[in-house]
A = this chain, B = another copy of it.
Amino acid sequence: MREFSERIVPVILSGGAGTRLWPLSRAARPKQMLDLTGDGSMLALTAARVADQGAFAAPVLVAAADQAEAIEAALPGLGMLILEPVARNTAPAIALAVLAAAPDALLLVLPSDHLIRDATGFRAAVLRAAPLAADGWIVTFGMKPERAEAGYGYVERGAPLGEGLFEAARFVEKPDAATAAAFVAGGAHDWNGGIFLFRAETMRAALAVHAPDILRAAEAAIAGATRAGARLLPEPAAFAASPAQSIDYAVMEKAERIAVAPVAVGWSDIGSFEALHNVSAQDGAGNVVVGPGLALDAQGCLIRSEGPLIAAIGVEDLVIVATAEAVLVVPRAQSQRVREAVEALNRKEDGRWT
């Protein structure tokens, strides 16, 4: 394994609009811009997590073009802001960052809207994995699965590669419930948290083999890019020609020399109001009340308002979320169905409410 001393470049992906936390998140205000924990926006927390200037360079953001102003306002110290003219999923976004970086640079790809409670433990795990990445491996960070979540990707640990590092034996995206339960019970699988560490050249070479169309489109987009200050604007038509694929599908499930670094750092993607309820401080009756709210004889509820006062009386295990524009009421256990409401509203209301 090679010596390692250079600073790691965080690559923060801020592409998705997201509908799972509607009406808190809306098309014009994606989840990463929300303060879900009371500590700052998910984006700001993500950047703060890798702000140790001894170990990390200024972050590179890959973001939807319409988020440019919001991101610059939130992150004054960013190193580069790559603006995607259209959304093409994570593989093309990562390809842009790879091509904009020095070939030898170590890149740490981070979703902009995940929670990690133990930032210190996370940074330690990243630094522990850095020599392996410098040696040409692509490292994904595995999150200990807390439940049989069918909506996630799983990665199976193979042969050990060092302290807290394993060869990735297999990736399974969104298994059925029985398979997910078996994974959790078996103890050999972790959630694939979407956080990756690799040398830019390693990923470029993997893309060349496993996703040449994506690499070609990104190369053309970067070749035709314009630069304005920290902003880099890839050539729109070239980028739009890229297939839309996740990095898991395009590379991780196919490439050689993929490693997994299992961590226990209080990770959550806060992918539903149920998850938000789980990671929030609850009162004695299991309620989470944020904003003007009143819980009278209510239990297990998530009550959160950015506008009107919410008075909840005698209800159990409900999500009640209000903004000035919209109110959502759904049982906590069905909170993934928020997407259905957003889709129904988009069909009949032309985006007015979403």
Chain A residues proximal to chain B, CB less than 8 Å: 23, 292, 294, 296-297, 305, 307-315, 318, 320, 322-331, 334, 337-338, 340-341, 344-345, 353
User: What's the minimum C-beta distance from A328 to chain B, rounded to whole angstroms?
Assistant: 5
Knowing A307-B308, A308-B322, A322-B308 are in contact, say whether A314-B330 is a contact too (CB < 8 A): yes
| Cross-chain contact A308 with B327 (CB below 8 angstroms) | yes
Which of B305, B313, B325 interacts with A341 by CB under 8 Å? B313
Q: How far is the CA of A314 from the CA of B335 in the complex (A)?
A: 9
Q: Is the CB of B308 within 8 A of A330?
A: no
CA separation between A5 and B307, bound complex, in Å?
57
> Are A341's CB and B307's CB within 8 A?
no
Of B292, B313, B320, B345, the residue contacting A337 (CB under 8 A) is B313
Q: Are A296 and B329 in contact, with the CB atoms below 8 A?
A: no
Cβ–Cβ contact B328 & A311, under 8 A: yes
Interface pair A294/B345, CB less than 8 Å apart: yes
**How many copies of the shown chain assemble into the complex?**
2
CB distance from A296 to the nearest CB of B (A): 6
CB of B314 within 8 A of CB of A322, answer no
3 closest pairs, A vs B, by CB?
Answer: A313-B330, A311-B341, A314-B334
A315 contact set on B, CB distance < 8 A: 318, 329-331
A329 close to B329 (CB less than 8 A): yes
**Selected contact of A324 from candidates B23, B308, B310, B326, CB within 8 Å:** B308
* A340 near B326: Cβ-Cβ < 8 Å: no
Q: Which residues of B contact A353 (CB under 8 A)?
A: 292, 309
Cβ-defined contact, A309 with B324, below 8 A = no
Whether B340 lies near A296 (C-beta < 8 A) is: yes
Check A309/B326 contact, CB under 8 A, given A315-B318, A334-B314, A337-B314: yes
Contact present for B327 and A340 (CB under 8 Å): no
CB pair A341–B308 under 8 Å, yes or no, is no
B contact residues around A324 at 8 Å (CB): 307-308, 324
User: Which chain B residue shows the least CB distance to A326?
Assistant: B309
Q: Known: A296-B340, A334-B314. Contact between A308 and B329, CB under 8 A?
A: no
Residue among B313, B326, B330 making CB contact with A338, cutoff 8 Å = B313
Quick check: A331 and B314 within 8 Å, CB to CB?
yes
A334 B313 Cβ-Cβ under 8 A? yes
Contact indicator A296/B341 (Cβ below 8 Å)? yes
Sampled A-B contacts (24; CB under 8 Å): A292-B353, A294-B341, A296-B340, A296-B341, A296-B344, A307-B308, A307-B324, A308-B325, A308-B326, A310-B326, A311-B329, A311-B345, A312-B329, A312-B330, A313-B329, A313-B338, A313-B340, A314-B337, A315-B329, A315-B330, A320-B327, A320-B329, A327-B327, A329-B329
Residue ID in chain B nearest A334 by CB atoms: B314
| Cβ-closest chain B residue relative to A314 | B334
Provide the bound-state CA to CA distance between A180 and B320, in Å. Answer: 36
Beyond contacts A311-B341, A313-B337, A322-B327: 13 other A-B pairs, Cβ-Cβ < 8 A, are: A294-B344, A305-B327, A307-B308, A308-B308, A310-B326, A310-B327, A311-B330, A311-B345, A314-B330, A314-B337, A315-B318, A320-B329, A327-B327
Please give the distance in Å from A326's CB to the nearest CB on chain B: 4
Chain B residues contacting A344 (CB-CB under 8 Å) are 294, 296
Instruction: List chain B residues, Cβ under 8 A from A23.
Output: 311
Determine which residue in A310, A311, A313, A325 has the highest number of CB atoms from chain B within 10 A of its CB, and name it.
Answer: A311
Query: How far does the alpha carbon of A294 sit from the alpha carbon of B309 in the complex, in Å?
Result: 20
